[in-house]
Amino acid sequence: MEKEIQQAQAVYQQVIEFFVNYSFQVIGALVILALGIVVAKKVSAAVYKLCEGKKLDVTLSHFIAATVKIIIIAMVAIIALGKVGISVTPFVAAIGALSLGAGLAVQGLLSNYGAGLNIILARPFVVGDTIRVQGVIGQVKEVHLAYTLLADEDEVAITIPNKHIVGEIIHNSHAETLAEETVGIAYDSDPAKAIAVISQALARTDKVSSIRKPLVGIQDFGDSSINIGIRFWAPTSHYYETRYRANAAIFEALQAANITIPFPQREVRLLGDKGLPG
């Protein structure tokens, strides 16, 4: 019991001596660290505004600002540790040793971060683009180092790990999505007139792209109708709304122009008893 009390007194004495000898250094280090964090936040915000002023992509701007903030905080932390007499050299060696084991343990996570850095720097797509990758289609809402967040017209969030994007075939239609329709007209109708009527109906439809002109033409010849192919671009965020509105406008325009949309027909002939064997 007496030995334990002596050990406790020795520890207490060491703690007291530490604070007596290094109290000002510790306070100075904490002040330096606090000021460094404040400065890092302000510099990061200034860098982000500068990137916005240069009209850089929002994801790249966030990445640059965050990188600047981390670098400043790391430098300030090294200065603060030196203030209390702690050398960072052993820490660097320990971090190097731990990094190897940690790298093997979180290999999948690191591959996502590496792929995210690739996306941010190469910029195969940016926020607002519509992409299709791995059988998934949506509008890019956010690009993070570990994952990319997509959303569809119903605001369903789709999270894709970045390692499943890099190295894959990416279809990027930017802010719009292609709509493809087919409507049949009777063989006794004028195809040129039908094409003109449909084109005019699309031109009057709200949110149908006027920059990417719609394409309307004869697609093929069916058993009961001449099939008119229709291709137009609509905003991804209002894709189905625009598509349904365009279909209604096309139907009304064809009716007003007295162009018939035929239903499938099949002619059946019955042979008399004379023509039947036996």
Domains in the chain with CATH codes: 2-105 (1.10.287.1260), 125-173 (2.30.30.60), 176-256 (3.30.70.100)
Say if residues 35 and 75 touch (Cβ distance below 8 Å).
no
Per-residue pLDDT, averaged over 124-132, amounts to 92
Q: Which range is least confidently modeled, 61-70, 184-193, 201-210? A: 61-70
* Unique residue bearing structure tokens 């007596």: 20
CB atoms within 10 A of CB 266: 6
Q: Which range is least confidently modeled, 99-103, 108-112, 212-216? A: 99-103
Cα–Cα dist 211/174, whole Å = 13
Cα maximum dimension of the chain: 127
For residue 37, report the phi and psi dihedrals to the nearest 5 degrees: -65, -40
For residue 196, report the phi and psi dihedrals to the nearest 5 degrees: -65, -40
Say if residues 183 and 254 touch (Cβ distance below 8 Å).
yes
pLDDT in tens, 230-255: 999 999 999 999 999 999 999 999 99
Per-residue pLDDT, averaged over 208-219, amounts to 94
pLDDT in tens, 3-48: 777 777 777 777 676 666 666 777 778 888 889 899 999 999 998 8
pLDDT at 219: 95
CB atoms within 10 A of CB 112: 22
C-alpha to C-alpha distances, 73 to 65, 78, 86, 157, nearest whole angstrom: 13, 9, 17, 33
Cα–Cα dist 254/201, whole Å = 9
Q: Please, which residues have CB within 8 angstroms of residue 7's CB and are 6 or more apart in sequence?
A: none
Cα–Cα dist 230/203, whole Å = 13
- Residue 75's pLDDT band, with cuts at 50, 70 and 90, is confident
Q: What is the pTM of this model?
A: 0.64
* Unique residue bearing structure tokens 């009716």: 255
pLDDT at 78: 80
- What is the DSSP code (8-state) at residue 180? E
Is residue 59's pLDDT more than 60? yes
- Residue 105's pLDDT band, with cuts at 50, 70 and 90, is low
Is residue 97's pLDDT more than 70? no
CB atoms within 10 A of CB 277: 3
Beta bridge partners of 178: 233
